[in-house]
């Protein structure tokens, strides 16, 4: 009975904090020095939070697979599968190979070589379709066409070939092929590639009335509503009726519409079920904002009088109390710490201290509502890599762009800390008179910061308010300029909310503005003067 109650408590209240024992850390480091990775003591590390690193070392050095679990690391998976194959456990090995082969093109040569003479199980149509999609999405046209050649009699062949052409920028050819293809998801791409608004709506309608996957319909709904919102109110309202399939999206765009036409009563009716509607209702009615979460709306409509945390208290507590993590950090094993993925305040802090800022942010995120208990997590959640100095504006942008990943590369080709597009980088290099600039230089954090900082501060000088500059950074200054021409000057917090929610054309940019402004609030208070976020004089 006691055990059952204990188990119930664990299920209802999962442990939020873990501890890596000092003994486990010492065994690991000792084994690294001695090279003894095959002992029973070392195998016991497999069940600890250092297990991922231990398994990778064990697989590399030892022959027995006793007690080894499948690692998360793809290279470890590849090694494990090869060892399983050697031991005659072909089905277990093939399961791992198939998983790797299906979800990535990174290990194709190794996997195909290791499966010579028995690779048919890898070339199933559903696997090849996914590989073509992944390769085309990443711009690897040759790889996509190679796997597509095995699907000539597959019903998805024309559809996938159209997608390859689309990712190559061959829109005319892609549109023709999509129109000739079978899968009903084709309506999504035909909607995207059609120029006229009515034609776009008709393909959207067909998509929504088809059996296409829900994920395509969701993305299409946001796309079409954004396109029609300010260009054709009649078609927008017709499209909105289909958006009822996604209640959250429907309420959000209905709130935007009510704000556009000045229907304050409609916003009031929606406000109980939509935060955006509630904020817009506060704007149109002059009512006090009642939101409790510290977000974009609260910072503008009900700004806090003071920052609730002490800088001295936060930064004086940046010391690891977890004995095992502390030992690894002192010994310089940050590469090992980077493999520990379980969310906890101490693990997040360890990642931060090691300079793994992206991982630290992700591991600290579940504890953001507990900052009073773990105030040291604020610098972890809002880190300041040395290259940024006290440039709080660039920090606010870079956190949203890449979570401070120096090697970040987006699907659209944006590079580095501040996600600079190659053509933007070339233009900035000319303005800054940087000789011999190459696109690859954007992976250098100093270069990326210099270029990104120059760009955002140039936009800030032009648009005056940080949220407007952030919008221009995300979707381009031309679009922001056109939106301001429709709206007029942004002079008050209420103006900014209305402009952001109603006149900025893309959902991605609206979300970007809101998140970067919250970032600026924290960076201003952590590393700045504490006033940079106060963009209106009445604050």
Q: What is the pLDDT of residue 78?
A: 94
Region 468-493: mean pLDDT is: 96
Lowest average pLDDT, out of 20-29, 151-160, 306-315, goes to: 306-315
CATH 1.10.530.10 domain extents, the chain:
387-527
The SS3 assignment for 458 reads helix
Q: What is the pLDDT of residue 3?
A: 36
Per-residue pLDDT band for 15 (boundaries 50, 70, 90) equals very low
Distance CA 47, CA 503 (A): 53
Mean pLDDT, the chain, rounded, equals: 93
Q: What is the pLDDT of residue 331?
A: 95
How far are the Cα atoms of 13, 273, 450, 454, 477 from residue 464, in angstroms, in the given order? 48, 34, 20, 15, 13
Predicted confidence (pLDDT) at residue 13 exceeds the cutoff of 60: no
Region 253-260: mean pLDDT is: 97
Interacting residues of 442 by C-beta distance below 8 A, sequence separation 6+: 415, 416, 420, 422, 425, 448, 451
Q: What is the pLDDT of residue 6?
A: 32
Query: 128 is written with which tokens?
Result: 């090849």
Predicted confidence (pLDDT) at residue 10 exceeds the cutoff of 70: no
pLDDT digits (tens, 9 = 90+) for 162-212: 999 999 999 999 999 999 999 999 999 999 999 999 999 999 999 999 999
Per-residue pLDDT band for 160 (boundaries 50, 70, 90) equals very high
How far are the Cα atoms of 43, 145, 234 from residue 83, in angstroms, in the given order? 17, 32, 63
Q: What is the pLDDT of residue 537?
A: 67
pLDDT digits (tens, 9 = 90+) for 415-445: 999 999 999 999 999 999 999 999 999 999 9
Of the chain, the percentage scoring pLDDT greater than 90 comes to 87
Residue labelled with tokens 């955006």: 276
pLDDT digits (tens, 9 = 90+) for 75-126: 999 999 999 998 999 999 999 999 999 999 999 999 999 998 889 999 999 9
Q: What is the pLDDT of residue 475?
A: 95
Of the chain, the percentage scoring pLDDT greater than 70 comes to 96
Backbone angles phi, psi at 409, to 5 degrees: -140, 115
Predicted confidence (pLDDT) at residue 269 exceeds the cutoff of 90: yes
Distance CA 407, CA 168 (A): 24
Domain 387-527 has CATH 1.10.530.10: yes
Find the largest Cα–Cα distance for the chain: 75
Number of helices (H), then strands (E), in the chain: 32, 0
Predicted confidence (pLDDT) at residue 264 exceeds the cutoff of 60: yes
Predicted confidence (pLDDT) at residue 458 exceeds the cutoff of 80: yes
**Are residues 22 and 37 in contact, defined by beta-carbon separation less than 8 angstroms?**
no
């Amino acid at each position: 009975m006691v055990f059952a109650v204990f188990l119930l408590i664990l299920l209802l209240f999962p442990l939020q904090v873990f501890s890596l024992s000092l003994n486990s850390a010492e065994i690991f480091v000792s084994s690294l020095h001695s090279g003894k990775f095959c002992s029973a003591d070392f195998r016991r590390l497999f069940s600890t939070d250092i297990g991922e690193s231990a398994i990778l070392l064990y697989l590399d050095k030892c022959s027995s697979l006793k007690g080894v679990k499948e690692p998360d690391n793809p290279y470890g998976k590849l090694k494990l599968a090869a060892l399983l194959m050697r031991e005659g456990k072909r089905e277990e090995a093939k399961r791992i190979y198939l998983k790797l082969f299906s979800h990535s093109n990174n290990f194709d040569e190794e996997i195909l070589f290791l499966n010579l003479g028995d690779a048919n199980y890898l070339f199933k149509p559903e696997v090849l379709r996914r590989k073509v999609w992944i390769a085309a999405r990443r711009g690897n046209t040759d790889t996509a066409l190679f796997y597509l050649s095995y699907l000539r009699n597959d019903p998805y062949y024309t559809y996938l070939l159209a997608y390859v052409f689309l990712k190559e920028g061959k829109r005319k050819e892609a549109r023709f092929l999509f129109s000739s293809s079978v899968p009903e998801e084709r309506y999504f791409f035909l909607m995207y590639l059609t120029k006229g608004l009515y034609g776009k709506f008709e393909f959207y309608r067909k998509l929504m009335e088809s059996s296409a996957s829900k994920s395509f319909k969701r993305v299409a709904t946001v796309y079409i509503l954004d396109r029609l919102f300010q260009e054709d109110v009649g078609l927008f309202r017709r499209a909105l009726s289909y958006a009822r399939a996604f209640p959250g999206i429907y309420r959000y765009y209905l709130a935007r519409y009510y704000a556009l036409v000045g229907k304050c009563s409609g916003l009031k009716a929606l406000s109980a079920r939509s935060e955006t509607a509630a904020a817009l209702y506060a704007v149109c009615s002059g009512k006090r904002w009642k939101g409790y979460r510290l977000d974009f709306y609260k910072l503008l409509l009900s700004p806090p009088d003071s920052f609730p945390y002490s800088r001295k208290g936060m930064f004086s507590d940046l010391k690891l109390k977890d004995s095992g993590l502390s030992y690894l950090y002192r010994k310089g094993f940050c590469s090992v710490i980077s493999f520990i993925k379980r969310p906890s305040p101490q693990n997040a802090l360890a990642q931060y201290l090691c300079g793994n800022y992206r991982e630290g942010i992700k591991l600290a995120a579940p504890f953001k509502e507990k900052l009073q208990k773990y105030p040291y997590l604020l610098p972890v959640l809002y880190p300041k890599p040395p290259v940024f100095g006290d440039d709080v504006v660039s920090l606010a942008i870079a956190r949203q762009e890449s979570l401070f990943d120096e090697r970040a590369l987006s699907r659209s080709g944006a590079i580095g800390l501040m996600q600079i597009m190659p053509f933007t980088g070339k233009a900035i290099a000319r303005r800054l008179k940087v000789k011999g600039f190459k696109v690859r230089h954007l992976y250098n954090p100093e270069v990326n910061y210099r270029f990104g900082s120059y760009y955002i501060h140039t936009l800030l000088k032009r648009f005056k308010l940080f949220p407007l500059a952030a919008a221009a950074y995300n979707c381009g200054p031309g679009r922001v300029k056109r939106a301001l021409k429709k709206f007029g000057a942004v002079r008050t917090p209420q103006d900014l909310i209305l402009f952001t929610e109603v006149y900025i054309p893309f959902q991605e940019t609206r979300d970007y503005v809101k998140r970067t402004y919250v970032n600026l609030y924290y960076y201003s208070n952590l590393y700045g003067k504490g006033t940079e976020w106060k963009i209106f004089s009445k604050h």
